[in-house]
Chain A
Amino acid sequence: AQSVAQPEDQVNVAEGNPLTVKCTYSVSGNPYLFWYVQYPNRGLQFLLKYITGDNLVKGSYGFEAEFNKSQTSFHLKKPSALVSDSALYFCAVRDLAGSYQLTFGKGTKLSVIP
Chain B
Amino acid sequence: ETGVTQTPRHLVMGMTNKKSLKCEQHLGHNAMYWYKQSAKKPLELMFVYNFKEQTENNSVPSRFSPECPNSSHLFLHLHTLQPEDSALYLCASSQKEGDSYEQYFGPGTRLTVT
Interface residues of A in 81-114 (CB under 8 A from B): 90, 94, 100-107
Partner of B43, one of A32, A46, A49, A104: A104
Partner of A44, one of B40, B41, B55, B90: B90
B103 touches A46 (CB 8 A): yes
Does B84 reach chain A (CB closer than 8 Å)? Answer: no
Chain B, residues 9-44, CB within 8 Å of chain A (1/0): the string is 000000000000000000000000000000011110
Q: Most chain-B Cβ atoms within 10 A of its Cβ — which of A34, A45, A104?
A: A104
Chain B residues touching A, majority SS: loop
Q: Tell me how far the C-beta of A105 lies from the nearest C-beta in chain B, rounded to whole angstroms.
A: 6
**Alpha-carbon gap, A90 to B41, bound state (A):** 11
**Alpha-carbon gap, A43 to B97, bound state (A):** 19
Residue in chain B with minimal CB distance to A49: B102
B40 touches A106 (CB 8 A): yes
Q: Interface extent on B, as a size class?
A: 20 to 34
Q: Tell me how far the C-beta of A100 lies from the nearest C-beta in chain B, rounded to whole angstroms.
A: 3
Residues of chain B lying within 8 A (CB to CB) of residue A46: 102-104
Does B49 reach chain A (CB closer than 8 Å)? Answer: no
A102 touches B42 (CB 8 A): no
Residues of chain B lying within 8 A (CB to CB) of residue A45: 1, 105
Q: Tell me how far the C-beta of B54 lies from the nearest C-beta in chain A, rounded to whole angstroms.
A: 13
Chain A, residues 1-43, CB within 8 Å of chain B (1/0): the string is 0000000010000000000000000000000101010000111
Partner of A106, one of B4, B6, B42: B42
B42 touches A103 (CB 8 A): yes
Q: A32-B100, A100-B98, A101-B56 are in contact. Are A90 and B107 (CB under 8 A)?
A: no
Residue in chain B with minimal CB distance to A48: B102
11 contacts between A and B (CB under 8 A): A32-B99, A42-B107, A43-B4, A43-B105, A100-B98, A100-B99, A101-B45, A102-B103, A104-B43, A105-B42, A106-B41
A-B residue pairs, 5 tightest by C-beta: A100-B98, A43-B105, A104-B43, A44-B105, A46-B102
